[in-house]
Structure 1
Amino acid sequence: MAKRYELIADDLRQQIGTGTIESDARLPTETALSSQYRVGLPTVRQALSVLQAEGLIEKRHGRGNFVRRSRQQLEYANDRNLPEADSTRRHEPTAGSDTDVTVSCCELGATDELASRLGVPVGTRLLEFTYRSQRVEDDAPYSIVRSYMVRAMVAEATMAPVSDRSPWGDAYREWFTGTGIELDHVVERLTARPPSADEALALGIAPGVSVVAIQRTSVDTRGVVVETADLLLSGDRVAAVYTTPVIRARQLC
């Protein structure tokens, strides 16, 4: 049998879902909800905590509980890594009238972790490209990508402006083409986890919303790691979609 706070949470969730309580609207006070549902304040607070953990409402200091503004969900799809003939879908959003991709670049020495991932000595000079992608109607970015490459490897590459490129930091593939580097495969390791305090602040994430963290490793035809990246995606605005080609029996003959 459902507990009282669960029933209250269900009722409020339904009202939010149907629009009875509109996006960005303030919920009744805890005292008013206590009177409405004929329960004590601790029960009301439990119900509100459930909705906060689900990312449906947020508590604004000194103002009360508000319905979070709905945010359009985007798809991060791996089918862009497949040959064009095999890729039947393209979910890759690009900068345009509704998306702003801010790109910055700096040079740094490889840390122990980055040196291990790239297979280079600690201290090797790297380029770090940071991509922050945000829809114009949102108040925080939906993704932050940090891409790392060995500086000497891309020294001859023509790095065109990337403000109109993919928010996933894929421009390096075109740069490598100009230097004769051909990618062989890309490995992506995906985890879902609670955000750190800094990550939650940077992505505007409410309590209870997870992040999707992807570690990308790009390997060329020589077996050399030519790029590694850390992608941080807001769990309430980005879904990771993976397509795996199936080898048919006739292809094996």
Structure 2
Amino acid sequence: MRPPVKDRAHQPESERQKTGSTERGTGLEVTDLAFRIEYRDAEANEDLASVFGVPVGTRLLERIDRTNSVDEGAPFALVHSYVVHEIVAGNPDLLNAANEPWPRGAQNQLHTVGIELDRIEARITACLLTVEEAEELGIKRGVSVFLLRKNSRDIDDRVVEVSDVTLSGDRTEFVFTTPLKRW
């Protein structure tokens, strides 16, 4: 049995390298994936500053992920995730895209600088895609996309990571399960 996702941050690196959220979501193995991840400096705009609770212009680390199946050229999603630079600067490995894909992703990255996640809030909306998004996702114009914003909060209720994910509406399925208390 696989440990809960959060607990995987404590697993040895050899175990964490076997599978991550992309593998779980796609059913593919790590060897079936091509990771294209870029890091760059960014500044908090009004939206991100509000979410993080920091001043506009605060230095952020932006991570741009375009992971795809080795059998396809188009990425599964267009992902832009952000962390406050000052928070992750304590571990220089977190500032280097050459260390990607990071075994067990953002939760383990944040754990290396003493952050424990409490929850991840996800909000999904839909819209038509832009010409650029259509080209990058390899889909026809006119197909709608899902916009997923994930806010990761630590145990002090502070937003420590924001991810904006664009998913193609013609090849994305969301399944929600609500466990109900037994009588």
Please, what is the CA RMSD of the aligned residues? Answer: 2.4
Q: Structure 1: how far apart are the matches of 2:176 and 2:7?
A: 14
Deviations 1:152-199 (A, max 9, x none): 01111343822365xxxx712101112221111110001122111211
- Cα deviation digits, residues 10-64 of structure 1 (max 9, x gap): xxxxxxxxxxxxxxxxxxxxxxxxxxxxxxxxxxxxxxxxxxxxxxxxxxxxxxx
From the superposition, tell whether residues 147 and 95 of structure 1 become closer, same or farther in structure 2 (CA, over 3 Å): farther
Match of 1:115 among 28, 34, 49: 49
Shift of 1:243: 2.9
Would you say the 8 A contact 1:105–1:128 is kept in 2? yes
1:91 correspondence with 2:24: yes
Could you tell me which of 168, 175, 180 is aligned with 1:234? 168
TM-score by length of 2: 0.77
Match of 1:179 in 2: 113
1:243 to 171, 177, 182: 177
Structure with higher Rg: it is 1
Which ranges in structure 1 are unaligned for 5 or more consecutive residues? 1-79, 85-89
- % of aligned pairs identical? 36
Spell out the pairing of 1:93-242 with structure 2 (5 A cutoff). 93=26, 96-157=30-91, 158-159=93-94, 161-163=99-101, 171-242=105-176
Where does structure 2 lack aligned partners over 5 or more consecutive residues? 9-22
- 1:34-113 matched pairs, under 5 angstroms: 91-93=24-26, 96-113=30-47
Q: Quote how far apart the aligned CAs of 1:230 are.
A: 0.2
CA distance in 2, matches of 1:103, 1:201: 18
- Residues 59-111 of structure 1: per-residue CA shift (max 9 Å, x gap): xxxxxxxxxxxxxxxxxxxxx76778xxxxx8334663322121100111111
TM-score, normalising length: structure 1: 0.57
Kindly tell me: are residues 230 and 117 of structure 1, through their superposed partners in 2, closer, same or farther at Cα, counting changes over 3 Å? same
Aligned length: 161
138-147 or 154-163, which moves further after superposition?
154-163
Task: Output the CA distance in 1 between the equivalents of 2:59 and 2:147.
Answer: 25
Partners of 1:117 and 1:185 in 2: CA distance: 15
> 117-126 vs 170-179, which deviates more?
170-179
